[in-house]
Amino acid sequence: MTMLEVIEKKKLGQELSPEEIRFFACAAAEKSVPDYQLSALLMAIRLNGMTDAETTELTLAMRDTGDVADLSSIPGIKVDKHSTGGVGDTTTLVLAPLVAACGAPVAKMSGRGLGHTGGTLDKMESIPGMRIDLTVEELLRQVREIGVAVVGQTGHLAPADKTLYALRDVTSTVDSIPLIVSSILSKKLAAGSDAIVLDVKTGSGALMHSLEDSIRLARKMVNVGNLAGKPTVALISGMDQPLGTHVGNALEVKEAIDILSGRAGGDLKEVSLTLGGYMLVLAEKAKTWEEGVRMLEEALESGAGLRKLREMIQAQGGEPAVCDDTGRLPQAPVRKTVCCGRDGYVREMDTVALGLAARALGAGRLRMEDQIDYSVGFVLMVRIGDRVQPGTPLCEIHARTEADAVRAEEAVREAIRWSDTPCERGKNFYAVVTRDGVTRL
């Protein structure tokens, strides 16, 4: 078998055999064939697609090119959650401790931010002393002892994906649904959890901007996850504006703590509770997602969720006192409150532009090796549909310098569109996708 034969077959729109797919995945992991041949096959897949069986086989083959975590020593059904990415999306830091407080073990491997999206690991590292580089043995012990751990992915997790993702980025094949599915799920399956809840974003700040494209992606991911033997459910949630009001690493940790402390609510809380409700169903701790949400609300009200976050921070070397005093998180030297400066209604937001504005402040990276400033970002004080006046606060900018704050103000203003007449915002959830089909909400 040669790569040229595999390329030729997919170029003609034919279905690849399991052996051909595994040959391709191994070649990517081992870099045993030239990049131009891998790129040619990626484009053939982008143009001609893959069946669910092919996509499942590619996902499993990519998973098997590296380490696969064995979580069987942890009692109970381990449930993972994955978001396709967004701005102000701090759901993991809210729902992981809450779900664990309800008796479902959470052993989560997360990633860093890149582009306009934030990364859970960067947010966690804004907590003084926090470790995210646990060994597999440390991960297992921590989850057995306290029920939750959120850590970085091992460098040996699905190495084929590392090669293929870099090529997709420079060959205009990032938007291929089979390649998106295999990239995400190969890492999720390698992380070892028993079931998966997917949060597939739709809107201006999402990978897929249209609802129909988001549903297509979710259906493919759910089908492949279930074919791979992992019960999988997907929710389609809105990303037409930042999910939380806080954008920036330490600021987002603060918002998560405020929610767990009962001081804050809003869209981030609602989305976290709903996703967590489905996690409890898959973990067989609740019969319906509504029952799961009620359990999570009780964990919020009793303080059990915040106590679990404190336990996780302490177990991973962080300073648990941030749960009592968020002022211990990194603080930016410059704070600037910006007012709307006009009458009207917030019509829409360019969520990607808002994410890039936070990155320009230093909250994100242009390259993976760049250093970030955990303290910077901004707090949005308006939501789509809000009625505003000239003196209504628009945002509070947290910056390193006055000049940075001025540039961020300009970027935030440019990212927000206004209307003179009332307008409605989109929903938090648009659909639920299970192995039985799509339920539109």
Q: What is the pLDDT of residues 151-176, one digit of tens each?
A: 987 668 889 998 998 899 789 898 89
- The confidence score (pLDDT) of residue 85 equals 81
- The confidence score (pLDDT) of residue 207 equals 78
- The first and second tokens of residue 142, run together, are 């921590």
Interval 105-122 mean pLDDT: 78
Domains and CATH numbers, the chain: 3-63 (1.20.970.10), 79-324+430-440 (3.40.1030.10), 330-419 (3.90.1170.30)
- Cβ neighbours around 134 below 10 Å, total: 20
Token match 């918002």: residue? 255
Q: How confident is the prediction for the chain on average, in pLDDT?
A: 94
- Place 119 in a pLDDT band, splitting at 50, 70 and 90: confident
Interval 230-257 mean pLDDT: 97
- The first and second tokens of residue 198, run together, are 């997917």
Contacts of 10 (CB under 8 A, 6+ apart): 16, 41, 44, 45, 48
Q: Give the Cα-Cα-Cα angle 378, 184, 367 (nearest 5 degrees).
A: 50
The answer to whether residue 370 scores a pLDDT higher than 90 is no
The DSSP secondary structure of 40-97, one letter per residue, reads HHHHHHHHH---HHHHHHHHHHHHTTS-----TTS-S--EEEEE---SS--HHHHHHH
- Place 426 in a pLDDT band, splitting at 50, 70 and 90: confident
Q: Give the Cα-Cα-Cα angle 359, 395, 245 (nearest 5 degrees).
A: 75
Q: Distance (Å, rounded) from C-alpha 358 to C-alpha 30?
A: 37
The answer to whether residue 52 scores a pLDDT higher than 80 is yes
The answer to whether residue 117 scores a pLDDT higher than 80 is no
Report the percentage of the chain scoring pLDDT > 70: 97
Interval 26-47 mean pLDDT: 96
Interval 401-410 mean pLDDT: 98
Q: Give the Cα-Cα-Cα angle 191, 112, 361 (nearest 5 degrees).
A: 170
- The confidence score (pLDDT) of residue 118 equals 66
Say if strands 106-110 and 148-152 run parallel, antiparallel, or are unpaired: parallel
| Residues 309-361 pLDDT 10s | 999 999 999 999 999 999 999 999 999 999 999 999 999 999 999 999 999 99
- The first and second tokens of residue 130, run together, are 């926090």
- Place 113 in a pLDDT band, splitting at 50, 70 and 90: low
Q: Distance (Å, rounded) from C-alpha 213 to C-alpha 185?
A: 18
The DSSP secondary structure of 206-268, one letter per residue, reads SSB-SHHHHHHHHHHHHHHHHHTT--EEEEEEE-SS-SSSEESHHHHHHHHHHHHTTS--HHH
- The first and second tokens of residue 347, run together, are 């019509």
- The first and second tokens of residue 151, run together, are 């850590």
- Could you tell me which of 149, 14, 62, 112 has the C-alpha nearest to residue 369? 112
| Residues 203-215 pLDDT 10s | 888 878 899 999 9
In whole angstroms, how far apart are CA 235 and each of 126, 175, 240, 432, 437? 29, 19, 16, 5, 12
- The confidence score (pLDDT) of residue 367 equals 67
- The confidence score (pLDDT) of residue 135 equals 86
Q: Distance (Å, rounded) from C-alpha 324 to C-alpha 258?
A: 10
- Place 106 in a pLDDT band, splitting at 50, 70 and 90: very high
Report the percentage of the chain scoring pLDDT > 90: 84
- The confidence score (pLDDT) of residue 225 equals 94
Q: Distance (Å, rounded) from C-alpha 193 to C-alpha 109?
A: 10
Residues acting as catalytic residues: 82, 161, 168, 183, 187
- The confidence score (pLDDT) of residue 84 equals 86
pTM assigned to the model: 0.92
H or E stretch covering 433: strand 429-434
- Could you tell me which of 436, 432, 428 has the C-alpha nearest to residue 86? 428
CB environment 369-392: b (16+ within 10 A), e (fewer): eeebbbbbbbbbbbebbeebeeeb
Q: Are 193 and 82 in contact (CB under 8 A)?
A: no
In whole angstroms, how far apart are CA 102 and each of 83, 163, 279, 281, 291? 21, 38, 11, 11, 12
Residue 131's Cβ-count burial label (10 Å; 0-12, 13-18, 19+) is middle
E strand spans, 282-428: 334-339, 344-349, 377-380, 387-388, 393-399, 416-419
| Residues 272-304 pLDDT 10s | 999 999 999 999 999 999 999 999 999 999 999
